[in-house]
Homo-oligomer: A and B are copies of this chain.
Amino acid sequence: MLNGAVIMKEILREVGMIARSLDSISNIEFKQYDLTRGQYLYLVRICEHPGMIQEKLAEMIKVDRTTAARAIQKLEINGFIEKNEDQHNKKIKRLIPTEKGQAVYPLIKRENDYSNSVALSGFSGSEAETLVKLLQRVRSNVEKDWEYVKKGNKRDY
């Protein structure tokens, strides 16, 4: 039996270890496609939601606006995506994958799927499902605080 104190620290640390491991692996494996650190994160989302703007992408990934801005800038320079201007709104730029970007997408997807299958090896279908649902709830809880703190507010505890 696990007591509360153990759970307290473990969730956060386990998640951190898992995320860093998987991110590190992906970054190493995507170098062969000329994607530098972190870029795959943005590219997959742009491919899945073409026309998205970078502000929303940053929120989706949970990364600083300026970090996203530069990652996206680089994706554009290297020909993976385009920034298209909007008909009705002069301020926003809609992000669209190029042919090159679309060609890389399935390779990223395949790697991510494989990493997921590794992560879930030994899991039954229902265990995997339970985990996804619990994680989605955690994410929903956590993202509220993230936005709150990111905006300069102070949490009270």
Name A's B-contacting residues (CB within 8 A): 2, 4, 6-12, 14-25, 28-29, 41, 61-64, 109-123, 125, 127-139, 141-143, 145-146, 149-150, 155, 157
Contact = CB atoms under 8 A, between A and B. Distances in A.
A67 to B, nearest CB: 10
A49 to B, nearest CB: 13
Nearest to A27: B149
Given A2-B129, A2-B132, A25-B155, 9 more contacts: A2-B133, A7-B120, A12-B119, A14-B138, A15-B15, A15-B135, A17-B61, A17-B139, A24-B146
Given A132-B2, A135-B14, A114 B155 contact: yes
A61 B24 CA distance: 12
Given A111-B157, A113-B9, A119 B141 contact: yes
Contacts of A29: 149, 155
B25 A149 contact: yes
Contacts of A143: 17, 21
Contacts of A155: 25, 29, 114
Given A114-B155, A137-B123, A132 B19 contact: no
